[in-house]
Amino acid sequence: MAMVTYQRESLPLSLHTPLLELLGCEVPVMNAGMGGVARSALAAAVCNAGGFGALGMVREPVSRIREEVAALRKLSTGPFAVNLIPAATEPALLRQQIDCCIELQVPAIALFWDVDSELIQELKQQDILVLHQVGSRDDAHRALRAGVDVLIAQGVEAGGHVRGNVSTLALVPELAALSPVPVVASGGIASGAGLVAAIALGAQGVSCGSLFLATEESNAHPLHQQRLCRAHAEDTLLSHRFFRNWPMAAAVRVLPNSVTNGEYDHLRNLQQAPSIAEQDGQAIPIFSTDSPLRDATGSISAMALYAGQSCNQIHQVTSVAERMAQMMQEACNTLSRLQPESDHPANSPAAVAPELAGQISKEQVIAALLELLAAERAGARVAAACQAIAYDQESRTELRQLHKQEVTCCRALLRCLAHLDAKPGNAVGDFYGKVMALESFEERMALIEKGQRWVFRRVVKLLEEVEDPLIRQQLEIVRRYHED
């Protein structure tokens, strides 16, 4: 059995999900928005490794959001999200956070806990991608009705605050079956095999917390990282003893310590609990939901040591780049193991010489599809980027619609390539660079229109040359979107 060496420029077809075009990343992995832990260094490292970074900014002051977004943009040009939790944030502060994110034109916001339909609709009107983490079918329905772009299905195995009581293995296929938008799996995943399993269940990517908490770029305290790396899945527990700073009754998955053992229960009903530590220049009271950060001092071991049940797969602290490369290599190895070379579709007679058309070969069709895919990817990224400089709401709405159409076309072309057992690669062609090099919005829009006409002509020509029913069906989708 031949193992496949992982290379970002040739991601296996099954791992190249439509989520990548929607978010603008290269691999279907994002970091969880761990408050305090997932700051600019971690999120930027995830972006630079091809993933989708998330800044954990729950209850953070606007000044910190500004600092962290600016720092991330200096470290990486990759797309990212700001993670906020409205239900756990004082309304006036939340309003300031949202206004700040809109002003900074962050590409995406990841939300958690209660579904705030009005907030989601406001963000959508500002052309911000909205990801929402849910823990149940009911929450998923609410989020979908509100118009979210991505569902993050959090299983009960996850570390930190846990929304539902269903496992990732059971929740992901249920939500994937009902959701018209991509589903991302979260909880218990810290390996390439876990990534492959999530995609097999219907997810289009994974969100990992514990995996990235134990990295060099994480802002977690070293003691927290060491405890996580030594832990087994059965060591974690759900506790209600960490409740301060969190207005709703909610369980958190943590590693056991003096607080979970009940040693401080006699202080639970005090109006003002004593402080046990200090970090970020602030005192941390006993029972606080704040986990220990790198600069924390005091009784670190008595703070909330969040850990998911995936901790048994994490044994040492590494760089994000090393962790991501290892995860993706494991995913490639898992796919190779599940599909031995002798059973590979490329070795079947039908795959070697599919009934395409007399005047065009399989290789020529694949080359044409790859060229179109690169153009559509570029179109999707251009449409997303140009929203930031659009003059008016009408233009932003038009660009947002174009972005959705380009993502749909990418999905259609990926289906064609899968049908031919061809690797899609990650190329975006020269079009993106040419458009973004132009200074004025009018010039960019003119070149976008020119690119749309080129795609239309190329698809029409390919339809004349190809007879395969599935490929023709998918190309018709692309043609219709570009016809006008």
The answer on 332 and 349 residing in a single domain is: no
Write down the pLDDT at residue 1: 41
Q: What is the DSSP letter of 319?
A: -
Q: Which residue has the higher pLDDT, 223 or 79?
A: 223
- Residue 295: strand, helix, or coil: coil
Torsion region of 15: left, alpha or beta (phi above 0 gives left; psi -120 to 50 gives alpha) = alpha
Write down the pLDDT at residue 409: 85
Q: Are 8 and 426 in contact (CB under 8 A)?
A: yes
The answer on 250 and 210 residing in a single domain is: yes
Q: pLDDT tens digits, residue range 120-142?
A: 999 998 889 999 999 999 999 99
Q: pLDDT tens digits, residue range 193-236?
A: 999 999 999 999 999 999 999 999 999 999 999 999 999 999 99
Name the token pair of 367: 């080359």
* Final residue in a domain of this structure, among 343, 377, 400: 343
Q: Residue 246 — φ and ψ, nearest 5°? A: -135, 105
Q: H/E element holding 19?
A: helix 18-23
Residue 286 CB partners (closer than 8 Å, separation 6+): 244, 259, 264, 267, 273, 274, 275, 276, 302
Write down the pLDDT at residue 389: 66
* Final residue in a domain of this structure, among 301, 321, 343: 343
In 85-138, the DSSP E strands lie at 108-112, 129-134
**Domain of residue 426, CATH code:** 1.20.1260
The answer on 371 and 299 residing in a single domain is: no
The answer on 292 and 169 residing in a single domain is: yes
The answer on 331 and 186 residing in a single domain is: yes
The answer on 405 and 275 residing in a single domain is: no
The answer on 372 and 315 residing in a single domain is: no
The answer on 385 and 311 residing in a single domain is: no
* Final residue in a domain of this structure, among 343, 364, 394: 343
**Domain of residue 293, CATH code:** 3.20.20.70
Q: How confident is the model at residue 16 (pLDDT cuts 50, 70, 90)?
A: confident
The answer on 412 and 366 residing in a single domain is: yes
The answer on 351 and 331 residing in a single domain is: no
Entry pTM: 0.79
Domain residues for the domain of 469 are: 345-482
Write down the pLDDT at residue 349: 40
Domains identified in the chain, total number: 2
Q: How confident is the model at residue 185 (pLDDT cuts 50, 70, 90)?
A: very high
The answer on 202 and 288 residing in a single domain is: yes
Residue 269 has pLDDT above 90, yes or no: no
The answer on 133 and 183 residing in a single domain is: yes
Q: Are 64 and 86 in contact (CB under 8 A)?
A: no
